[in-house]
Amino acid sequence: MDEVAAAAGVSRATVSRVINGAVSVAPAIRESVQRAIARTGYVPNVAARSLVTRRSDSVALVISEPERPDDHSFLNRIFTDPYFGRVTAGATGALRPHDVHLVVVPTDAADHHRVVRYLRQGHVDGVLLISSNEHDPLPAQVHALGIPAVLSSRPPGPLPVSYVDVDQRAGARLAAEHLLARGCREIATVSGPLDIPAGSERLAGFRSALPGLDIPAVTGDFTRAGGEAAAHALLDAHPSLDGLFVASDLMAEGALRAVQDRGRRVPSDVAVVGFDDSSAALECRPALTTVRQPVEEMAAEMAALLIAHIDDPGRSPRSVIFQPTLIRRDSA
């Protein structure tokens, strides 16, 4: 820093103000310092800087799963599910202009103590938390640490923390209304796990749009294989069904395979609607009609809320609810 100051003909304190983005530096002086930084190849010492600023310039994306049957299947789900990739992309894009890095931390119930210890040690300035189970204790544990945090869905119980979500029920109602408009009358659904808010809310929303109808439902697990097995179970019990709402695109990809394995045509025999509008929807054959939740925009909003909480720790919690839309393609 002394070399930069000498090269620019300014004080060391002025160099520090330029590096830290102070607005009180005149544009001409700022430009001179930046040229000197480029000439000398100066790079700030992040560890030393963090001692002064009390910040790590990193936030954690904690992905909390209820259980881990084995390391391979757990990590395979985390890193191959399109949803998590979209969240990472949206959050990273929003954090980049702030020079804040994203650290991805997958965890399950057995590892919560390690995650809490990691957060308590000050490795990150805040947490973006994806919690998939309504009984998950991790949101309350993170809140108790006093570290800024934003959740990816409504928190369980009266927890005063910011969150971002999509109107899950409204999205499922869009799917139901579309199947009815197509003339479907024997309608069924593959739901997500009912101990996950997205699973229970989508099922409730779907059924609320079809009053008076007995809607068969089989619970899936948000995987291709789970969607395929659930669709086979529905077709065994209801071989003449003509409309199917599947609560995620990944499960819908498996459900389409099950329908076609039975010799049923999509959409002329069975219309299929998914939920998410992920890359899996375009990989389906036929291309999947689905309910879009704007995951990248939601993740960017989570990141923006988190930055606001880091900058102002006394800021009140805020909730942001996005509206879903129906994307019509070839499956319904």
List, for residues 308-324, the tens digit of each pLDDT value: 999 998 899 999 999 99
Residue given tokens 């309910």 in the structure block: 291
Q: What mean pLDDT do residues 320-332 have?
A: 96
187 has a pLDDT exceeding 80: yes
Q: What mean pLDDT do residues 148-152 have?
A: 94
Q: Which helix (H) or strand (E) holds 232?
A: helix 224-237
Where are the domain boundaries for CATH 1.10.260.40 in the chain?
A: 2-44
Q: What mean pLDDT do residues 13-38 have?
A: 86
- pLDDT at residue 75, as a whole number: 65
151, 308 contact by CB (below 8 A): no
Radius of gyration of the chain (CA): 24
Q: Strand, helix or coil at 105?
A: strand
50, 56 contact by CB (below 8 A): yes
Write the single-letter amino acid at 153: S
Report the C-alpha gap between 159 and 137 in whole angstroms.
Answer: 11
Token readout for 194 is: 């009912």
Output 56 or 246, whichever has higher pLDDT: 246
Q: 2-44 has which CATH code?
A: 1.10.260.40
Query: In angstroms, what CA-CA distances link 242 with 5, 222, 274?
Result: 74, 22, 15
Q: Is 327 exposed, middle or buried (0-12, 13-18, 19+ CB in 10 A)?
A: middle
- pLDDT at residue 132, as a whole number: 72
84, 279 contact by CB (below 8 A): no
Sequence-distant (6+) residues with CB within 8 A of 135 are 66, 156, 195
pLDDT confidence tier of residue 53, bands split at 50, 70 and 90: low
Phi then psi for residue 195, to 5 deg, are: -95, 5
- pLDDT at residue 121, as a whole number: 86
Angle of helix 112-120 relative to helix 138-145, nearest 10 degrees? 20
Output 74 or 120, whichever has higher pLDDT: 120
pLDDT confidence tier of residue 48, bands split at 50, 70 and 90: low
- pLDDT at residue 16, as a whole number: 84
According to DSSP, the residues that pair with 63 across neighbouring strands are: 106, 130
62 has a pLDDT exceeding 90: yes
Report the C-alpha gap between 178 and 184 in whole angstroms.
Answer: 9
15, 1 contact by CB (below 8 A): yes
CA atoms within a 13 Å half-sphere pointing along the CA-CB vector of 85: 11
169 has a pLDDT exceeding 90: yes
CATH 3.60.40.10 corresponds to the domain 58-166+295-321: no
Q: Strand, helix or coil at 231?
A: helix
171, 293 contact by CB (below 8 A): yes
Q: What mean pLDDT do residues 5-12 have?
A: 91
The highest-level CATH class for domain 168-292 is alpha beta
Q: Residue 214 CB: number of other CB atoms within 10 A?
A: 8
- pLDDT at residue 50, as a whole number: 54
State the DSSP code for 111: G
| Cα 207–chain centre separation | 25
pLDDT confidence tier of residue 45, bands split at 50, 70 and 90: low
Please tell me whether the peptide bond between 294 and the residue prior to it is cis, using omega within 30 degrees of 0: no
302 has a pLDDT exceeding 90: yes
Where are the domain boundaries for CATH 3.40.50.2300 in the chain?
A: 58-166+295-321, 168-292
- pLDDT at residue 72, as a whole number: 56
- pLDDT at residue 131, as a whole number: 84
- pLDDT at residue 175, as a whole number: 97
The CA dihedral of 31, 34, 40, 46, to the nearest 10 degrees, is: 160
pLDDT confidence tier of residue 47, bands split at 50, 70 and 90: low
- pLDDT at residue 297, as a whole number: 96
Least confident of 62-66, 149-153, 171-175, 203-207: 62-66
Token readout for 38 is: 């480029």
Average pLDDT, the chain: 89
176 has a pLDDT exceeding 90: yes
Q: What mean pLDDT do residues 203-222 have?
A: 93
Q: Strand, helix or coil at 276?
A: strand
